[in-house]
């Protein structure tokens, strides 16, 4: 990044005139694009462990998903800060942006939709116990959405940085907690028990919060409710596509990371995020 020189609109116009409309072809070192994106580093991160031609697509798709997990984590932290500042408009824009991120993330499953059991078996054994279940970034995403479990941070104890981040995320408010606190500060009758609680514990749906959401839909904060609903829907889509990818490539075999595989994912899908946003619709 240190080698990138900033350019103004005037600089770009002058360069275009000097180049007679053609792209710049000569640079003193690597191209500014390579330096900014880190392409050399990115393309050196794919280390397959077999000669199976299908493995590279599996690895690249997984790495792309990891990048999106990190992006979502950053965006939702920003949305929480915006909500803490009572800037609902900014938070809504941020959350809506993450809905688009999720659309791209979910589309990444298409890169594995062709994977048959025979093709997966070409390299699966060589992966050992490596499993997406062990993704610290995905676990952080789930914590930010309110799906928390102290037991699920244990695999990361030997990774001090990831473990510390997950311990902090476990005890901090989720995005949903931040939303409920925002609503409480802005005149909605959110019960005290819903916002002053042990944030590391599972969130328990409350009919009083359900009534708050029914009320929200009749007021100025309805766009916030809909943005969260769009996000919840995309997350549900993510989990469903994950389930179908596993079902297609390995059926009901045990998972690589020690889980029951398909039945574990089916059980995980039943953990709803933002629960009262859905049940409140019955009251409207």
Binding-site members for heme are: 242
DSSP label of 5: P
Total residues belonging to the chain: 284
User: Between vectors from CA 204 to CA 201 and to CA 210, what angle results, nearest 5°?
Assistant: 145
Rg (CA), the chain: 23
- Mark the binding-site residues, compressed into ranges: 124, 242
- The Cα–Cα gap between 147 and 174 comes to 9
Cα separations in angstroms, 198 against 162, 172, 204: 22, 9, 11
- Mark the binding-site residues for substrate, compressed into ranges: 124
- The Cα–Cα gap between 251 and 247 comes to 4
3-state secondary structure of 44: coil
Give residue for tokens 């640079």: 27
């Amino acid at each position: 990044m240190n080698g990138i020189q900033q350019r103004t609109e005037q600089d770009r116009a002058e360069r275009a005139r000097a180049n007679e409309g053609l792209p710049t072809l000569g640079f003193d070192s690597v191209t500014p694009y390579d330096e900014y994106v880190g392409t050399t580093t990115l393309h050196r991160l794919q280390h397959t462990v077999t000669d199976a031609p299908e493995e590279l697509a599996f690895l690249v798709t997984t790495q792309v998903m990891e990048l999106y997990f990190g992006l979502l984590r950053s965006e939702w932290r920003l949305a929480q800060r915006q909500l803490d500042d009572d800037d609902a408009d900014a938070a809504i824009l941020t959350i809506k942006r993450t809905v688009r991120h999720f659309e791209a993330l979910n589309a990444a499953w298409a890169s594995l939709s062709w994977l048959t059991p025979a093709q997966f078996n070409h390299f699966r054994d060589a992966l050992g116990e490596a499993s997406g279940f062990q993704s610290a970034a995905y676990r952080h995403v789930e914590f930010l959405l309110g799906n928390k479990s102290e037991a699920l941070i244990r695999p990361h104890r030997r990774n001090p940085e990831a473990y510390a981040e997950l311990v902090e995320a476990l005890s901090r408010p989720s995005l949903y907690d931040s939303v409920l606190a925002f609503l409480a500060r802005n005149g909605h009758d959110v019960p005290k028990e819903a916002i002053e609680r042990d944030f590391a514990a599972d969130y328990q749906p409350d009919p009083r919060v359900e009534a708050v959401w029914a009320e929200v839909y009749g007021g100025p904060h309805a766009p916030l409710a809909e943005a969260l609903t769009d996000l919840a829907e995309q997350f549900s889509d993510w989990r469903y596509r994950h389930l179908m990818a596993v079902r297609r490539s390995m059926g009901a075999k045990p998972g690589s990371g020690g889980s029951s595989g398909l039945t574990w994912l089916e059980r995980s899908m039943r953990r709803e995020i933002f629960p009262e946003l859905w049940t409140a619709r019955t009251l409207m």
